[in-house]
Structure formats: C-alpha cells, structure tokens
Amino acid sequence: MWYASRVTKHVDVAVVGAGILGLSVGYHLLSRQRSLRVVIVEQAPVAGAGSTGKATGGIRCQHASEVLVRLSMASIDEYRNFERLTGVDVEFDDVGYLLFASTPHAAEQLAETVAIMRRCGVAVEALDAGAIARRWPHLRTEGIRLGSWTPGDGHASPHAAVTGYLQAYRRLGGRIVFGEKVVGIEVASGSVTGLRTADRTIETPVIANVAGVEAAQLARSAGLDLPVRPYRRQVAVLAPLRLGDGRVPLTMDVDSGWYLHQQRDGTMLLGGIDKDTHPGTQEVVDAGVIDRLLELGMRLIPRLAAARLVRSYAGLRALTPDDLPILGPAPWPRGLFCACGFAGHGFMHAPAVGDLLARWILDGDPGMSGLDACLPDRFLRTSTSLQ
C-alpha cells in the first residue's frame, strides 16, 4: 500500500493532523476535486486522538465576533446534513444555548453579542431573569441582568464526526499515514517543497498545517512564527440527573465561564472556569478547579447537589493573542496554509473551516468575506505597525 512505503512520494496536498479539522480539510478537498492526490499525516495511531478526543461537542452561534458567528452558522448547516454527506449520523441535537450575565460589564458584552448575531441573521432572543426562570425553573436566576437564547444551537458527537469524515475521505480516495510525527517542512526558493517524518519524505507544493497545539512548532520548521500556545481545559463528568421537565440547553454563565452540557443519556459535563491557566501541555487534572466547578454548579442549579461525580479529565486547546483562529495562506513560505488556534472551538467550526481552506487552496478564494481578521499575517502586520 502507498502509505506503507518508506520512499519519497509526491502528492498535491499534504495535511498535517488527523483531528476533526484535518479530516474535514481532507474531505472537503476531495469533495471539490476527486482527482487530487491528498495525504493526511498523523502522529497518533488513530484519528481524533488529540484535542478532538476531549471535545465536549457544543456548537453555538453565540460569539462576540462576526467571523466566528458565520463559521458556526456554516458548520451547523453541514452538521445537520452530515449523514447525507458522509453516511454517519453525527447525532446533532438542537437543544439550544442559554447564556446569561449578572454583572453590568458582562451584560453589556452579551448585549453586543446578541446584536452581532442579529446582524448575521441568527435566531436569538434576549431574555430577562423572569423569562429565564419561567422557561428553565431549575436555574437560579437571582441577580441575572440579561440572558440570550439561540434555539438552533446544540451539540453533536465528536467521535461520530471523526468517523464520518474519515470514512468519506477514504471513499473519495484520500490516503492517511498514522503513527508518524512530521518533524519539518521543506522549503526551496520561498515555496513549500515537502514535509519530513522520521520515516519518509513526502514531496508536495501545498501543506495544510492543522496540527492543533503543535501547529506553532511545525510552522517554525518553515521559518514562520505563529503565536499559538496550548492551554489546559478541564471537565467534570456527572452521572445522569433529571433537572427539569423539558430538554436542558447548554447553559453558560458569562461572568465565570462556567457551563453545563447535558448529553443525550443524561450525563452532565461541567467546565469553562479555567480560562486563566498558564500555557503548557500537561493534561493533569487540578482537583481545586473541579471543586470550584461543582460549587458554582450547585449555586446556579441547586439540584446539582444530588449529582454524583463520575470522573474528570483535562485536555488542551490552542489559543492566539486575539482569541481568533489562524486561518488561511501563510505569508511565507508559499504553499503553506494554516488552520489552528481555535480556542477549543475546532470541533464546532470544523465543517466550515474544512470547506473554506479547501476553497482557498484550490481556488485562491475561501468564498466567505470577513476572514482578513483570521489571516496568519495579521500578527506580522501588527508588529510591523508598532515599529
């Protein structure tokens, strides 16, 4: 088989990373041009073993950036049609998203988010504490100044999405190399010429850097500095518990970042309060953070006092200085494209990102306006303007 060979091969596009984003890029490339020779190179023995494997599956249009809202809108459309496209049910469940704010500053930010979503055409409701209490009586609403409700948002299965994209990619003729870490990008005369692993060299004029928390390290091998740093994110998993008569939306306290995500089987995921952790790659659970997640949960939803902690885990997310992803062609070398720094929203935005990057690579145009804010060279432009 091709991917068992240890000799140099030539492909049209090499994608680094077989997480949900890399698989989406590979799938969308071949969906648009079946004749392409595409290979995905992944250091783990299976797909989705990195940050995707720790994703909680939330998909929301509630963002304070128009470009993120539009990425979510496009992704939700594809997740709703995922089974038709890939043959796998991604289990999309539109339970909705409820965000609420108690302090004046957070309420002002949430009001701006509502305005952005409305400009983008998202169905969203602004709610006061009374309206929230009537709809979701399990939630303690004292002190809440403003809530926002998007009924079209929800969650899906990261495992099913990985399976769907991987199977569809392979049916379209895509190749994949597992168990090999890319150690460098080869460049000649300012252009990409290939990538190297410990076992092989793959000649290619185009590389998609979708390496997640290792994207910056990969870019440095080509002489490009990407300000993407890994940060730990922790989740507490609670046993099933009935909170109300109806479906429970994904619920988020804007002030603290705390969120609750109840899955189809009733299991509850709590997270979101560790935004200020230091960068690093240690996926070690901090018991103090888990305790605070539970304490906040019981304060906001008193019924959680009866919940049982099943387990907790930590994963990694890649952040940028401006909290926007790095997406598009790199300023150098020619032929290097980036999709990284998604701040834990990689699963949420994977369908849109895969389509946009495929269009960029094949047509030179992503087909969506407003993406200048995400281009890799924005940090170079900022540093230059300060000199």
Q: What is the pLDDT of residues 203-219, one digit of tens each?
A: 999 999 999 999 999 99
Q: Report how far residue 47's alpha carbon sits from residue 28's, in angstroms, rounded to the nearest whole number.
A: 17
What sign for the dihedral angle of Cα 234, 69, 40, 326? Answer: negative
Residue 5: predicted pLDDT: 53
236: which 2 tokens?
């507490």
Identify which has the larger pLDDT, 283 or 176: 176
Q: Report how far residue 169's alpha carbon sits from residue 24's, in angstroms, rounded to the nearest whole number.
A: 8
User: Computed over its alpha carbons, how large is the radius of gyration of the chain?
Assistant: 21
Strand order of the sheet with strand 191-197?
A: 9-10, 201-203, 191-197, 182-188
Contact, 111 vs 146, CB < 8 A? yes
Neighbour-count burial for 189-213, b at 16+ CB within 10 Å, e otherwise: eeebbbbbbeebbbebebbbbbbbb
Q: If you average pLDDT over residues 97-112, what whole number do you get?
A: 98
Helices 158-171 and 346-363 cross at an angle (nearest 10°) of 20
Q: If you average pLDDT over residues 58-69, what whole number do you get?
A: 97
What sign for the dihedral angle of Cα 361, 367, 372, 373? Answer: negative
Residues 6+ apart with CB under 8 A from 99: 62, 110, 113, 147, 148, 251, 252, 254
pLDDT tens sequence across 127-162: 999 999 999 999 999 999 999 999 999 999 999 999
Q: Give the count of beta carbons closer than 10 Å to the beta carbon of residue 217.
A: 13
Q: Report how far residue 175's alpha carbon sits from residue 170's, in angstroms, rounded to the nearest whole number.
A: 7
